[in-house]
Amino acid sequence: MDINDIYELIPDFHCTEGCHECCQNFGVPSRTRVEDERVKAFLQKNSMQLGEARGNTCPYLNETGCSIYPVGPLICRLYGTSPNYRCIMEAMPIRLLHEDEEAEIFHLYRTNFF
């Protein structure tokens, strides 16, 4: 199983344009070794530096949004799409994950990438 197999289980979610509320109040997103390697490779490929946390603001948030969006970790992708990770600004995907789907995603994630 590849990490992308898990990501594909998550519905598409589009934030309200200009909103970065979760990125400013969520802190540094956790990630597995596989996700960390993907982030580091993306940073290197794009001549970017490893970010440092600034309080509760994600180190990869810039003036236009997420600077690592294509390789964002599971927690960022899941935010706003499931019952336990609803967007605090009330943005929602077309279809919210069911709690059982969320649990299965976390089960696959922990089983295969921890």
Can you give the pLDDT of all 114 residues of the chain as single tens digits? Answer: 999 999 999 999 988 888 999 898 876 678 899 999 999 999 999 999 998 877 889 999 998 889 999 999 999 999 999 999 999 999 999 999 999 999 999 999 999 998
pLDDT confidence of residue 15: 86
Three-class SS of residue 24? Answer: helix
- Domain carrying residue 27: 3-113
Q: Structural domain tally of the chain? A: 1
pLDDT confidence of residue 97: 97
The pTM for the full model equals: 0.89
